[in-house]
Amino acid sequence: METPSSDYVASTLLLEVQFTMADTQTPREQLKSIRFRLGITTREVADFSQKIAEAEGNPEFHISNAWLTQVENSDSVPSIFKLYSLSSIYRIKFTDLLLLYGLDLQHLSRNQMDSPLPDTHLTNLEVYDQERTVSFPIRFDRSFDIDNTNLLSRLVEVWGEVPIALIQHLDIRHGLYGYIGLHDMTLYPLLRPGSFVQIDPSVRKVQPMRWRTEFDRPIYFVELRDGYACSWCELQDGHLLLLPHPLSPRGVRRLAHGTEAEIVGQVTAVAMTLAPLAPARDAAARLPKQV
């Protein structure tokens, strides 16, 4: 069998862009279009796949001329072995071929989070496509004061596309997240200064519920006239009480509900360091690095 020509190899460099632009085509149409652009016949695909099958020691990798013709003209779904061969021959990422048939591996981590297991176990956050990106803050507002509690969206000056799997399931640009200021000791040591919190904006009223421990007690992110606060809350005679942790040096704050204080949402998740933050030497050292 002949080695692929230089034209065949060069044409694969354009396929990824063209592949992503063909979303309106059906899978069979896209597969046929890719093969046509590569300038190879179904018989050549069969020959290439035979080498793969021999190398892998599994005949399932082989793609016959008749099988490929059927797939390109019907709604048949290839097996994982034949998709692998097509990925190799067509120079298309395997993950892109899976997407072609409606299977996005990046949804695995999200689906795992929706199906929590009862027992403690090891897990991973794997990147199946290193080139895919997510929105992430790459420059903070120059007026960002890390000593005070604030909403993350108001601290970001420039958003960028960052290929990182750890935050790929988060919608940071459009979601609601808060930052606990380095001087905000309201819920310390339960919620350390410098922490980031995720906020559910659909819960904007104090929930009348019982809790067994302080970890079960609802935490709220509150907008004030001059900033934000993150604390336990109670309503009393039209006033919102911002309740600190018993070990916190802060006292209870009593503010007029709706005019002096308004609940932004309930805190649903937190990301914080367990080690105490080292004190900054000066104000400039505490500012985020400008990009």
pLDDT value of residue 291: 34
pLDDT value of residue 166: 42
Give pLDDT tens digits for 153-165.
666 655 544 444 4
Q: Is the pLDDT of residue 277 over 90?
A: no
pLDDT value of residue 18: 46
What number of other Cβ atoms are within 10 A of residue 73's Cβ?
11
Q: Which long-range contacts (CB under 8 A, 24 or more apart) does 25-34 make?
A: 26/75, 27/75, 27/77, 27/100, 27/101, 28/71, 28/72, 28/73, 28/74, 28/75, 28/76, 30/100, 31/71, 31/72, 31/86, 31/100, 32/72, 34/90, 34/92
Give pLDDT tens digits for 186-237.
999 999 888 888 889 999 999 887 888 999 999 999 999 888 999 999 999 9
Q: Is the pLDDT of residue 93 over 90?
A: no
pLDDT value of residue 9: 44
d(CA 69, CA 43): 10
d(CA 83, CA 98): 8
Put simply, whether the predicted model's pTM sits higher than 0.95 gets the answer: no
Q: Is the pLDDT of residue 10 over 50?
A: no
Could you tell me the pLDDT band of residue 244, with boundaries at 50, 70 and 90? very high
Q: Is the pLDDT of residue 282 over 50?
A: no
- Stretch 35-39: mean pLDDT: 92
User: Over the range 219-257, which residues count as b (16 or more CB within 10 Å of their CB) and which as e?
Assistant: bbbbeeeeebbbbbbeeeeeebbbbbbeebebeebebeb
Sequential DSSP letters for the chain: -PPPPHHHHHHGGGHHHHHHT-TTS-HHHHHHHHHHHHT--HHHHHHHHHHHHHHHT-GGG---HHHHHHHTTS-----HHHHHHHHHHHT--HHHHHHHTT--TTHHHHHHHHS--SS--------S-TT--EEEEEEE-TT--TTS-EEGGGTEEEEEEE--STTTT--TTTS-EEE--TT--TTTTTS-TT-EEEEETT--S------SSTTTS--EEEEETTEEEEEEEEEETTEEEEEPPTTSS---EEEEBTTTEEEEEEEEEEE--SSPPPPPSSHHHHSPPP-
CB within 8 A of 211, min separation 6: which ones?
Answer: 217, 218
Whole-angstrom CA distances from 283 to 98, 143, 194, 280, 288 are 50, 12, 15, 7, 11
- Stretch 32-57: mean pLDDT: 94
pLDDT value of residue 176: 82
pLDDT value of residue 20: 45
pLDDT value of residue 263: 95
d(CA 72, CA 181): 58
Q: Which long-range contacts (CB under 8 A, 24 or more apart) does 117-120 make?
A: none
CB burial of residue 87 (10 Å; 0-12, 13-18, 19+): middle
pLDDT value of residue 155: 65
Looking at every residue in the chain, the average pLDDT score rounds to: 78
